[in-house]
Amino acid sequence: MEKEAFDLITAGSVFRGEDPWFLATIRSLVLPHAPSANFRFPLYAPAVGAGLLALEAVGIQATDSVLATWIGAFLLSSDPETVLAQSSARYIKSNNNGSQ
């Protein structure tokens, strides 16, 4: 770990930059042991990942098409049922080659 570069993804409200001292403290504890660690913030809210896991749990594979629909719908809507319905419809359409 000391010689390998890797992304360390910080998650949770304490890492959002509202408390710069907290992040600086975490960095000071990690970097001596993993100097090549790259601190990064998640691209999406945890709900996006949870939604993808839920889709997979009901048998919808997270293809590029499903990911694009899911993330796009999530960014445009705060209603989880709408996001799930749009993702499912696109998945069904892509598996039927556009015919239902």
- The DSSP H or E segment spanning 39 is strand 37-40
| Residue 62 is assigned to a structural domain of this protein | yes
Residues 50 and 84 grouped into a single domain = yes
* Residue-level pLDDT at 79: 61
Residues 67 and 90 grouped into a single domain = yes
Listed in sequence order, the residues at least 6 apart from 14 whose beta carbon sits closer than 8 Å to its beta carbon are 22
Region 54-59: mean pLDDT is: 89
Residues 60 and 91 grouped into a single domain = yes
Range of the structural domain that residue 86 is part of: 46-95
| Residue 70 is assigned to a structural domain of this protein | yes
What average pLDDT is seen over the chain? 76
Q: What's the CA gap between 34 and 12, in Å, rounded?
A: 21
Q: How many domains does the chain have?
A: 2
Task: Give percent of the chain with pLDDT exceeding 70.
Answer: 66
Region 57-81: mean pLDDT is: 75
The pLDDT of residue 87 is above 60: no
Residues 35 and 54 grouped into a single domain = no
| Residue 84 is assigned to a structural domain of this protein | yes
